[in-house]
Structure 1
Amino acid sequence: MITPTLPANELARLESLKSLDILDSLAEETYDSITKLASEICHTPIALITITDSKRNWFKSKIGTSIPETDREISFCTHAILEPSELLEIPNTLKDTRFSENPLVIAENGVRFYAGVPIKDEKGLPLGTLCVLDSKEHHLSQSQKEALKALAKQVELLFEYRRKNQALEKMKNDLDETNRVLREFASTVSHDLKMPLANMIVSADILKAKYSNIMDEEGVNYLNYLKQAGLTLSDYINGLLDHYSSNHIESVNHQEFFLNDLLEDIIDLLQIAENCEINLPDNNLKIHSNGAALGQIFMNLISNSLKYNQNDKIVIDIDCNENREFFNFSISDNGIGIPEAKQASIFDLFTTATDLDRRGKKGHGIGLSTVKKLVASLGGSIRVISEEGKGTRFEFSIKRTIPVD
């Protein structure tokens, strides 16, 4: 028996194998289907997908044997990976000096035939093989060899997908951790700022009430600016808290309610002025969903329709319909509209469609990002249709849920 030498790139090969994180993983149907095909095509009782570690040859998938691994020193595959671009075929192991005294060969019903195709990573480093074995002499036809090579390519693709999935999972975990830290930071800072801001706003009112008679117009204006700045920052903080608390609002129990009742409660909260006409849906849908989330969605959208409108009379139309899977809603207005160039990013955090609202205040770009998150949490989607100067229409859906008795 001849012990195989180590590949010249052994350290890099082992590093690649380690990053794949596949050793001792559970059996997977996608790999087992390949070994089954290899066995059928090559007419051999045994087929393996092997992974060559530093000390062992581990079987990711196996057909025709219950052995999970072999020592690397006596492995046929350790010879196969020395020529990563070639198929290694040994028709009769007893006639090959490399294997004639191998324990796997001289054992009862030992291996007489071996054919293996190296499985490589994206850099061409061999990680293992797809191989077929038999207890009697065997010869592969050219078509069988080509088929075995093709199946080995499929294993390489599975390895590549595994790496990509791992990268995506790591990216997701990193993003989740980053978002968690940001949520905690935003919540902590926001709560810590709310009380000083409230004190600043109240102090401005007290100073104005007590001393405006001895202050000139410029001094009074400064107090007004101070109060307005405090209110603006307070709105910003409240928006941040709403945005990050929306991560958990979907956990609220679902309930049954009528849509128009929900909308009327929102209109009462917003204290709509007389110069505004809000047309509710003709069909008052009975909805089973997260009322808190849906209410926050409509609160943001109606509030935007009120703020970004320069007409003497504001008109807001709300409509709805349902199908087997979704409740579908729309809210349209006769406001200032959204420039086409900004429509693609309007749901991004801190993105605003216009500089100033109806009262000359600048938006913070939090509301629509929160709306999109809430809609997604309810299993739906949202889009905007708008023309600058002619109004805006938001269309969104939420997935129907089945009431639980």
Structure 2
Amino acid sequence: MLRLFETISDKAYPIPENEAERQAKVDQYQILDTLPEEEFESLVELAAIITGSPISLMNILDHDRQWSKAVFGDESGQTTPRSETVCQYTVMQDGNFEIEDLTKDERFMNMSYVEGDPKYRSYSGFPLITPEGYKVGALCVLDTKPKKLDESQKKALKTLANEIMARLELRNKQHQLEQLNKEKDLFLRAVNHDIKSPINGIVSSAHYLKHHWDGDRDELNEFLSMIELSGQKLINYTGELMSNSMFQTSNELHLDETAIEELIKDLIHIYTPLAKAKGVDIKLDCNTSSPFILDNEKFKLILSNLISNALKFSSINDTITITANTTENKQKVLHCSVKDTGIGIPEDFIPTLFQKNREQQRQGTQGEISTGIGLPLVKHLIDLHGGGIKVKTEEGRGTTFHVVIPEQKK
């Protein structure tokens, strides 16, 4: 994408400073190259009627082209090279961009639509501005004679541009909801599949002990171990289901003055029984003496997921080391890491490690199951704090997750 923007710059297009983010927003709307739709066609026609203009267009600016979603009064085509458009200048404005006579403007006087058919002479447009402030395109009107719009016409054109943007936003929300519903269906199918195995293990073991066990101690221990492992799988899975719920709802920070060392010690206390059962040692190296302001519950969830992951992929005699310290220059920053000596992460997993991807989820060293939600949730919660996370891993040697979180301002 960077190479593409460099190419555009070489052609001397007027490029917004936030072009990469602007283009990402264009792509998010999924409007490019779609079929005509009455809801946009009618607004474009209304723009022509209100301004007394023979031509009006709803234009979206793509990487290197302008694509017209809705057109009134013009049959010259839906795609124009970006460098030849007037709307490329409209998206550089916060308000109206108007050319009274295109033949007297050096930027446009030699364009084919000015010198030849359809002999445009005047242009007036308003940018289509997203709620975040990105200008994805423009609503414009053109005439075959020089003219200027009066203030009431400009106001009406702006209102119509805002209405187009509102409808694009609504479409986007509908697309997101449809995608969320698809993910939910897939997730529920996966839950149904993954949760049956440990439940069947518990039920079948209990049935055998009730009806067939004859008192052999070794056999009893074997079945109790099976029940214990299946129960632990269900506990882990329930935790990941709660994580998935948090992923959908946790978009706000609730700040607390947090004693980081005490919080980590509490988490270690919670995970110590499971660590002992797997023969794994948990160590702590902490140097955070003063309270640190962050979202206490979300930070617990971050560390809990990382510790749980480390345990899941560790075996007997492995070690998990949790370190935490704070630095302070212009801003206080928390540095935290969770390091294990477990089985490591396959190299081809790394690019999508923090994305929801069930194809790359793995069972733990004792068959622990996973929804694939944990690490994407961790990344999401760290991003909310304005922090960062990176991973260092080697198969067969272990994995370290480094987390950096700046102190929040109440």
Q: 1:265 to 1:217 in 2, by over 3 A?
A: closer
Q: Is 1:359 equivalent to 2:359 in the alignment? A: no
1:22-60 per-residue CA deviation (whole Å, 9 max, x = no partner) reads: 94xxxxxxxxxxxxxxxxxxxxxxxxxxx6x2x7735xx
Deviation per residue, 1:157-197 (Å, 9 max, x gap): 97992389876873454224542675599689979x99998
Worse overlay, 144-153 or 268-277? 144-153
Over 3 Å counting, the alpha-carbon distance change for 1:215 and 1:364 in structure 2 is farther
SS of match in other structure, 1:398: strand
1:198-218: per-residue Cα shift (whole Å, max 9, x none)?
798478447526742179999
Q: Contact (CA 8 Å) 1:57, 1:69: kept in 2 or not?
A: yes
Structure 1 gap ranges (5+) = 1-14, 24-50, 59-67, 82-117
Query: Is contact 2:103–2:109 with CA below 8 Å preserved after alignment?
Result: no
Name the structure 2 match of 1:57. Answer: 48
Aligned to 1:282, which of 262, 267, 287?
A: 287
Correspondent of 2:384 among 349, 368, 377: 377
Q: Compared with structure 1, are the counterparts of its residues 120 and 401 closer, same or farther at alpha carbon in structure 2 (3 Å cutoff)?
A: farther
Q: Is the 8 A contact 2:318 2:340 kept in 1?
A: no
Secondary structure in structure 2 of the residue aligned to 1:212: coil
2:100 to 132, 143, 167: 132
For 1:288, what is the secondary structure of its paired residue? strand
User: How far, CA to CA, are the matches of 1:295 and 1:184 in structure 2?
Assistant: 29
Question: What does residue range 237-276 of structure 1 map to in structure 2 within 5 Å?
Answer: 237-251=238-252, 253-271=254-272, 272-273=275-276, 275-276=280-281
Evaluate the alpha carbon distance shift between residue 18 and residue 311 of structure 1 in structure 2; reply closer, same or farther with a 3 A threshold: same
Structure 1 segment 11-50 matched on structure 2, within 5 A: 20=40, 23=43
Query: How big is each residue's C-alpha offset from its partner over 1:313-347, in whole Å with a ceiling of 9 and x where there is no partner?
Result: 41413233345275443222222221212111222
Q: Structure 1 CA distance, aligned partners of 2:346 and 2:195? A: 34
Q: Give 1:100's aligned residue.
A: none
- Partners of 1:188 and 1:384 lie apart in 2 by 30
Distance 1:356 1:250, change over 3 A: same
Match of 1:122 among 78, 81, 92: 78
Q: 1:328 to 1:225 in 2, by over 3 A?
A: closer
CA deviation profile, 1:230-249 (whole Å, cap 9, x unmatched):
65356434412322234334
Q: Deviations over 1:265-291 (max 9, x none)?
A: 101111243751412322345221211
1:317/1:331 contact within 8 Å kept: yes
Tell which structure's C-alpha radius of gyration is larger: 1
SS at match of 2:286: coil
Stretch moving more, 280-289 or 323-332: 323-332
Answer yes or no: is 1:331 the counterpart of 2:338.
Answer: yes
Contact preservation (8 Å) 2:205, 2:226: no
Contact 1:316–1:334 (8 Å) recurs in 2: no
Distance 1:343 1:127, change over 3 A: closer
For 1:370 and 1:142, the matched residues in 2 are separated by 53
Q: Aligned-residue CA RMSD in angstroms?
A: 5.3
Return the match for 1:161 from 125, 136, 142: 136
CA contact (8 A) 1:187 1:241 kept: no
The aligned runs of 1:192-211 (5 Å cut-off) are: 201=202, 204-205=205-206, 207-208=208-209, 211=212
TM-score when scaled to structure 2? 0.55
User: Aligned partners of 1:232 and 1:144: how far apart in 2?
Assistant: 68
Contact 2:324 2:334 in 1 (8 A): no
Distance 1:119 1:291 in 2: 60
The 1-side partners of 2:271 and 2:221 are apart by: 29
Structure 1 residue 392 corresponds to structure 2 residue 399: yes
Cα deviation digits, residues 243-268 of structure 1 (max 9, x gap): 22343345463211111111011011
Q: Distance in 1 between matches of 2:196 and 2:347?
A: 40
Count of residue pairs brought into register by the alignment: 303
Q: Is the 8 A contact 1:339 1:353 kept in 2?
A: no
Partner letter of residue 48 of structure 2?
N
Cα distance in structure 2, aligned partners of 1:227 and 1:348: 31
Q: Distance in 1 between matches of 2:372 and 2:169?
A: 28
**CA drift at 1:122:** 3.5
Q: Which moved more, 1:153-162 or 1:359-368?
A: 153-162
Shift of 1:375: 2.1
- Structure 1 pair 289–333 and aligned structure 2 pair: CA distance change class (3 A): same
Q: Which runs of 5+ in 2 are unaligned?
A: 1-34, 58-73, 88-96, 115-119, 130-134, 139-163
Q: Which amino acid aligns with 1:318?
A: T
Identity %: 18
* Structure 1 residues 243 and 161: CA distance shift in structure 2, 3 A: same
2:78 is paired with a residue of what secondary structure?
coil
Pair 1:349 & 2:340 matched: no
CA distance in structure 2 between the aligned counterparts of 1:22 and 1:321, rounded to whole angstroms: 59
CA distance in 2, matches of 1:297, 1:69: 56
Given that 1:197 and 1:234 are in contact with CA atoms closer than 8 Å, whether structure 2 keeps it comes out as no
Aligned CA distance change for structure 1 residues 162 and 325 (closer, same or farther; 3 Å): farther
Answer whether contact 2:344 2:396 (CA < 8 A) is retained: yes
